[in-house]
Structure 1
Amino acid sequence: MNDLVEGFGIDTDLLLNEVELRTFSGSRSVFPHSEVLTTNKCIEMTGVLCKLEEWRLEDRGGKQASGPAPYVTDRAILVIMLMLAREHKPLNETAIAEVMHRRLTDESREFLDLPHALPSSPLKPKGSEEKNWQNHAYNGFHRILNPMDPHPDTKGSRRRLLNNAERDAIRTARDLNTMRRRKERLDWFSQQFVQMTFTMQPRRLRRLQTKANISIDQTPVAVYTKRGHKDEFDPNERAERLVKEMDAAWYVKPGKKYVWGYAANFAVSTSNIPGQNAGFPITIRAFTLSVPNVEITGEAVRLGKQLVDAGHEPGRMTIDRGYPGGSDSDSNYTDDNDAFHKRVRELGFSRVFDYKRTELGKKPGGQNGSIYVEGEHLCPATPDDLVNASIRAQNLEIGEAEYRFLIEERSSYSLRNKETPDADGKVKKMCPALGPQAKIECPLRAIHPKSSQKAKPRVLKRNLPERLDNICCNTSATFVETDETLKFKQDLRYGSPEWQTTYTADRNMVEGVNGYIKDEGKENLGSAARRSAAGIAAQQVLVTMLVVSANMRKLQSFLKEESKTALQAIAKVGRRIRRRDQYGTYKRKWGPDRDFIELEGRDDPIDIRPLRT
């Protein structure tokens, strides 16, 4: 019988045998021992190995572990996972087992305490060697997750679909204290790895980043399940659904696209001088993973606190509209947004953020007769076209140039501080028409003799309030920080060129990093198939490895570009022009080209140089 080979003239001696077919793979290259040692140094810098043992001892109530020691150690699992992340390979038990089975040198095996062969399982004595390694990879990975898993009650149900009643029963029986403690451990684990990528930077780069100027954003992390992506969905609908990842939720992307998964919270470094080259690599400085639409502002505060606890001086925190009060279309947030601004201020960060449409214009918060507009206390006689400038710009009633002009003119009506605010935000303010530094002229105030003679905006009598309050009658008035004023306050004047430059530059940086870590040829954060593990703890650990890989790649690219620029500068200096040729004005304008001239009877041209004059 023709086996479809003989007719093609193929040498049958070249055919692969069954053993070769089973072991043939393109991912069998052996990791050099030097790479294992370097990766182990990174793991040691995090300090997580000792902490994992402490957490296990704490969970056992101080009792020693029983039973035989595991064949695969925490060190081996973490080293292999980080090497796979740097190699841009999938992070799953199969890939980890493949490395332990075939991709390590004998020296690396001895260093990581890995056996050359595993004993067969007593339950499956005829199981394949590959499957045996996969079982130990699975057990080793989940041994790391166990002390950090906020939802250990779902371990037995993560491989099947749960209905509404089953999910409600699990949530009702949960211990909130255990969840909180495990989440703190999980966030600490991630931050130690992220901080390690900062510590490995050269000192000259670290010193440029002592002040933490950060931009915060969320990005979806889809879970590995076919049930998850929808174009149309009503988040308020309580329908009977079968769900695999019960602790995940719908992440709303622009254009009403819904992704079933988690939300990665990134704090990305930004330039110390907005709009200028940072001079250091723009990396992810803090990271947590959370449920979409739950404690959004709380996660932002945690990111800032992680940096402060690491010893960084608080700088500015740039956030988008989703953080101060949620987007215009979503109302499913569970945060106390007033408390968010207070906690950020207590950490020491200044805030730069955009307002929702409903937050523009005059809002409650005015004191002593002033009006409160977009984070500023203004004169009560401020013209309406200035008060509503941002609203008109949002409605496209005015152009950008006119809007900038109105914002600049409105700044003249802003109340001036008479002294430095105290720790609680209490400060004395004065009328903008009072004193030698007056910015406007008001019929209620006499012009100071030392005031500038330049033309100033005039307050019209028809704009004066019917009842004059302290700011119009006294030389100063005391203003206190309230929840209404704090949630709209920011250090930069909203709509000003400084605010626009800072907000745009910082937001571009964080969006650029989001795109960087989603590169399909590298970390590919957007692909759930690269992170095929269930549970928020597993997903956060795997995304942490991707963040470390992206930060390392950023640092290496920065150092390479820095060296290239330095070599170009050295080469430019090496081609120094003679002083005589640099400053002289003489240029030869006669005869042929300067370099060579051909003569009859000679095959080779003569090199001609002009005589010195």
Structure 2
Amino acid sequence: MTNNRFIDNLNSDTNSLPKLRATMTTDSTTPDTTDFGGMSASEVHSGGRTDHVFTSQQVALAHSRVLQSGILDKLDAWRSEDAHVTGASARLPLISDHATLVGLLLLASEHGPLQISSLAVVLQNRLTQESRTLLHLSDVAPGFAGETREAKRWFDVTHRAFHRMLPLMDPFPQERKTANTYTEIQAVLDAHDSDLEKKMKTRLGEFTKGFLHMTFMQQPRRLRQATHRIELAVDQTFIGSPTTRGFSKNNLAKNVADEIGTSPLSLDSGPVDAFAGWHVHGKGVGRSDFTWGWMANIAVRVDSEHPGESRFPKLAISATLSMPNIGVTEEAVSLMRSALSTGLALGITDADKAYFASSRVERLHEPTFNLGFTPSTDYRIERLGVQGGHFGSTFIEGKAYCASMPTTLQNASRDHVNGTIDAETYRGRIQARVHFELRPKGKPDDQGRVRMMCPAVGANPTVTCRLRERPASDVSSASPRVAENDLPEYPDKICIQHSVTFGKQDGLRERQAFTYGSPEWQEFHTPPRNSAESLNAGVNSPVLESLDDASRRSVRGFAAAQVFVTILLTNYNLRSIAAYLRVEVQDQASNTVAVETTTNARRGDRQRATRCTPEDGAAPTT
């Protein structure tokens, strides 16, 4: 069918050429389209672009990486699954999913816009014959068949290829060709299928996970296993929608009512995409800007063992897309779950105050611990100090302490944030609090329960207390003593029994990897925040991925946005790995030169040492 269509087009254009030439010669007013002045024909036909051809090696590498992502098999499976439901018949496409994804990776590698027109140019004009065969692409019609018609044909088939892939993983399907009235927006929202949304969100997650895991595996084994644990820093960055007009759900009913009885011709142009949200830029009255779009949730790999070093590239390990201010905690859990594919043991997840400091325990903290991750976070000021307790102990910023710990130590973090004490005093009080920590008596059982002891009991007590009097020989002179006026009026179990059992949920909200405010916490918490911000700055760079520039990805809708985010993060990871390895090679070369220079210098010293060097500046003897 493809060949017949090509021959028909070719014959039609060929037969019309004599007529065109005759018209041009007999009618002097008809412009001569072959006279381009100082412009070449290729420049005219390309609109001034310089279309460099991708080498066969570049295409083969992108081809291999798409295969390694495993997404092609998933797309085939989803298409087959959906065909059973809809009854749609499959037919061989002119451009496959494989070729489409390879083309997108190629565009991203040169930091070009991810637009259908750019992708069509790649598939039409920028591949060698070897690459076209590899991607099963048909040949391009010769120039005399009509450059404009051939370019339009490739744009059309490329457009159909990309939009044939999107419905397989679109959580929010709707017609997006034209703007909608508010009445139409309300109808789209009412018809939304929540079950379909969950199914398609899962598919989108699989799409992104496949590509990002592929990039993780592109590293040498020594970098993948530089640490035995996978540890993450979680953050968000805004992704603008190509359609900037949005709406407020709070005002939607009123806007729908205002449209009743109004002529459609007199209505203002409304929103196009019903499934996005407003993101607020800036703070303060009169200084806030609102932008319509989505949030990209990204987890970057970090290192708690050597937080100040760069033992591996800081890659995006997982990513999702979501509405602004909706499902922040659930998206973080999805990021952690996707990181399981690395095969490494699970370590720490670092996040800012928008996550563990603000979320409900059952939505974020509990799933985090169930997966096997341990949080590291800052706290909002209202979460500092005593936050309940158990068996007479108090929970303070992730630890269980003796309730008789001095008030100045209990409120150390709050006083530091309020400016009551300086940083040096704060560090001293945090260090002094360690003596009052409850200590575990053994490891947690399979249900997460652990027996805890008062700090004044056991083989090595860290404080002394009248309620736990011991022989003087058992007590360290450096151990602080609980003041009489700090003792509880009615001692609880922790003050009476040798140990008490803490359940998995006890103190779960405040629990984290390091003692809050300690040097270890400070040393680890800052680098992950910097890594997350550095990744966001890198992918949003206007000369690189330009993730936040909606004009460089004009396809509308949630699914298209996540596909583009995935491709751009994939390219970011690949170039980060390449840059890291390049620095390694340069450092190795520099070290080699330094060794050779030192070796040569020592050889010269030895040679000079064989000569007799007289004193007083006399000429040497030979």
Between the aligned partners of 1:236 and 1:389, the Cα distance in structure 2 is: 43
Q: Distance in 2 between matches of 1:554 and 1:295?
A: 29
Distance change (3 Å), C-alpha of 1:477 and 1:17: closer
Q: Tell me which of 309, 323, 342 is aligned to 2:355.
A: 323
- TM value normalised by structure 2: 0.84
**Counterpart amino acid of 2:584?**
E
Change (3 A) 1:82 1:580: closer
Q: CA deviation at 1:425?
A: 2.8
* TM-superposed deviation, 1:102: 1.7
* Unmatched 5+ stretches in structure 2: 1-34, 257-269
Partner of 1:282: 314
Shift of 1:73: 1.2
Match of 2:276 in 1: 248
* 1:433-465 alpha-carbon deviations (Å, 9 max, x no partner): 223422222122213444353333221111112
Matched, 1:443 2:466: yes
* Equivalent residue number for residue 516 of structure 1: 538
CA RMSD of aligned residues (A): 3.0
Q: Provide the C-alpha distance between the structure 1 equivalents of 2:567 and 2:147, rounded to a whole number of angstroms.
A: 35
Shift of 1:547: 0.4
Call closer, same or farther: CA 1:451–1:67 in 2, change over 3 Å: closer
User: 592, 602, 622: which is aligned to 1:578?
Assistant: 602
2:304 and 2:524 in contact (8 A); partners too: no
Distance 1:267 1:551 in 2: 12
The 8 Å contact of residues 220 and 259 in structure 1, kept in 2 or not, is answered as: no
Counterpart in the other structure of 2:296: 264
CA distance in 1 between partners of 2:362 and 2:93 (Å): 49
2:399 aligned with 1:367? no
Q: CA deviation at 1:251?
A: 2.5
Conservation of the 8 A alpha-carbon contact between 2:276 and 2:292: yes
Please name the residue that 1:182 is paired with: 200
Tell me the distance in 2 between the aligned counterparts of 1:310 and 1:187: 15
Amino acid at match of 1:250: W
Distance in 1 (alpha carbons) for counterparts of 2:306 and 2:393: 32
One-letter code of the match for 2:384? Answer: L
Q: Which has the higher helix share?
A: 2
Instruction: Sort the Cα spacing of 1:458 and 1:236 in 2 relative to 1 into closer, same or farther, 3 A.
Output: farther
Q: CA deviation at 1:225?
A: 2.6
Equivalent residue number for residue 599 of structure 1: none
Deviations 1:405-434 (A, max 9, x none): 111111211111122122333221111122
AA aligned to 1:145 is L
User: Secondary structure at 2:592's aligned position in 1?
Assistant: helix
Q: 1:4 — aligned with what?
A: none
Structure 2 residue 508 is matched with structure 1 residue 500:
no
- SS in structure 1 at match of 2:272: coil
Q: Distance in 2 between matches of 1:150 and 1:85?
A: 25
Aligned residues between the structures: 563
Q: Residues 147-201 of structure 1, C-alpha deviation per residue, up to 9 Å, x if partnerless? A: 111112x1x13531442x4333222222222211111111101110001111111
- The alignment status of 1:199 with 2:199, answered yes or no, reads no
Aligned to 1:27: 50
- How far apart, CA to CA, are the structure 1 residues paired with 2:36 and 2:141? 34
1:97-116 map, 5 Å: 97-116=120-139
Listed as ranges, the matches of 1:479-498 within 5 Å are 479-482=502-505, 485-498=507-520
* Residue 408 of structure 1 pairs with residue 426 of structure 2: no
Cross-structure match for 1:221: 239
Q: CA deviation at 1:398?
A: 1.3
Residue pair 1:415, 1:431 contacting (<8 A) in 2 also: yes
Deviations 1:259-295 (A, max 9, x none): 3211111110112524332321111111111112111
Structure 2 residue aligned with 1:160: 179
Quote the residue 2:89 is aligned against.
Answer: 66
Q: Distance in 1 between matches of 2:465 and 2:249?
A: 53
Q: What residue is the counterpart of 1:300 in the other structure?
A: 332
Deviation at 1:237, TM superposition (A): 6.7
Report the alpha carbon displacement of residue 202 of structure 1 after superposing the two structures with TM. 1.3
C-alpha distance in 2 between matches for 1:216 and 1:611? 73
**Given the superposition, is the C-alpha separation of residues 13 and 451 from structure 1 closer, same or farther in structure 2, using an over 3 Å criterion?**
same
Measured at CA, do residues 385 and 314 of structure 1 come closer, stay the same or move farther in structure 2, by a change above 3 Å?
same
Shift of 1:253: 4.3
Secondary structure at 2:278's aligned position in 1?
strand
Q: What secondary structure is seen at the aligned counterpart in 2 of 1:578?
A: helix
Deviations 1:475-526 (A, max 9, x none): 22222232x6211111211111101111111111111111111121111112
Contact 1:297 1:337 in 2 (8 A): no
* Contact map agreement 2:43 2:49 (CA 8 A) in 1: no
* Shift in alpha-carbon separation, 1:96–1:243, aligned structure 2, 3 A: same
For residues 303 and 438 of structure 2, the distance between their equivalents in structure 1, rounded to whole angstroms, comes to 31
Verify the 8 A CA contact 2:302 2:314 in the aligned structure 1: yes
> Aligned partners of 2:219, 2:317: CA distance in 1, in Å?
12
SS of 1:547 mapped into structure 2: helix
Determine the structure 2 residue equivalent to 1:343: 367
User: SS at the partner of 2:84?
Assistant: coil
In structure 1, runs of 5+ residues without a counterpart are 1-11, 120-124, 327-334, 595-607
Aligned-partner residue type, residue 169 of structure 2: M
Take 2:323 and 2:36, find their aligned partners in 1: how far apart are those partners? 58
- The structure 2 residue matched to 1:558, chosen from 580, 583, 591, is 580
d(CA) in 2 for partners of 1:416 and 1:353?
A: 22
Instruction: Report the CA distance shift for 1:560/1:447 in structure 2 as closer, same or farther (over 3 A).
Output: same
TM-score (norm 1): 0.85
Distance 1:587 1:269, change over 3 A: farther
Question: 1:298: Cα distance to partner?
Answer: 1.0
